Structure 1
Amino acid sequence: MFAGAQLSLYPMTDTFVDVILSSLDALDPWRDRLRIETDDISTLVVGPPEVLFPALRDLYASAASKGHHVVLRATLSRGCPGEPDDPICQTSALANPFEPLASRQQAALDALKSAPDTGQIADAQFSLYVMGAGDHMAEITGCIDFLRSSGTFDRSKNFCTRLTGDAGPVFATLQEAFCRFGPPNGHVTIDLTVSANSPSKR
């Protein structure tokens, strides 16, 4: 399987270079389990979901802790048919496709109980795309039902769902949405925006 995120970090400050470079240090504890490639537009982070999402959480929390308005934009994908399998992405985190939807929803909720707090608020919106064979709308609806009970659900918006809360539970919720819904051998993507310290909330 191939799994990863193409991400960009946007700090709204004249010192954006320092914010970006210092925030990248938060990835250091995860680097031995990820493949990271950066160019002038974005950073590709490849690895299993159980490593990928905590790494993104720590990157975001580090950037948010500087106090500036900062936005993390990411496209996450697993099982893309256009990408070769990568041994670094081996995982047991994906749900059993034969497990009933209700069981997967409950397992996702149970997993959130161990999500750590970071002390940084995350306001996020995302869209889940389930591709391939099967009833993709049943999977998306099942994910939305899970989100409503997650403790991080804020509201539904056009084309996406908004989450709000500490970055720990928010990114854990995103991880469960990514792993529990859609076929493990199918192509699943998430379009994600996470904002911190927005002046619109003052």
Structure 2
Amino acid sequence: MIRIQETALPGVLFVTTPVHADARGFFLELFHAEKFSQLGLPRSFAQSNHSRSSRGTLRGLHYQLHEPQGKLVRPITGRIFDVAVDLRRSSDRFGEWMGAELEAGDGRALYVPPGFAHGFLVLSDVADVWYQCTTCFDAASDRAVAWNDPTIGITWPLADGAPLLSPKDAHAPPLSQADLFE
């Protein structure tokens, strides 16, 4: 049975699917439309992505302004610190974040609904992250907010100093200058 667990941010959910393990390894369902729908989760996703990153890589905080994406995020190898930030100005939780470690094979995924920025830090030597999005990527709508904005105050578990960042993430604006949701 799939389990849903609420987080500190309404709408951001842990989704845990059963892991069936034996001497050969394990099996788990990453997605099941009917079961997800019964739990109030999206029944379909428009796009699936797979990223591979090395230890200390930080991807995010990303979001799409005009075509907001809900994301179901799960590491398929390795371990990550996964983060969601509420970017809805109308929300009483605006600017608040939650983060959690996710590890491949433990059955846990994080659902990040539209209206939130998403990012993750790789904690293992390598992590492959699989995530499904409720809408397709729209480059014109693509945005980022600074991963280290003190207004948001994310406590990233950085062990070895500064993270590895893309140029986009290194130059992302602070929350006070970002395009945001109403």
* TM superposition score normalised by structure 2: 0.31
Normalising by the residue count of structure 1, what TM-score does the alignment of the two structures yield?
0.29
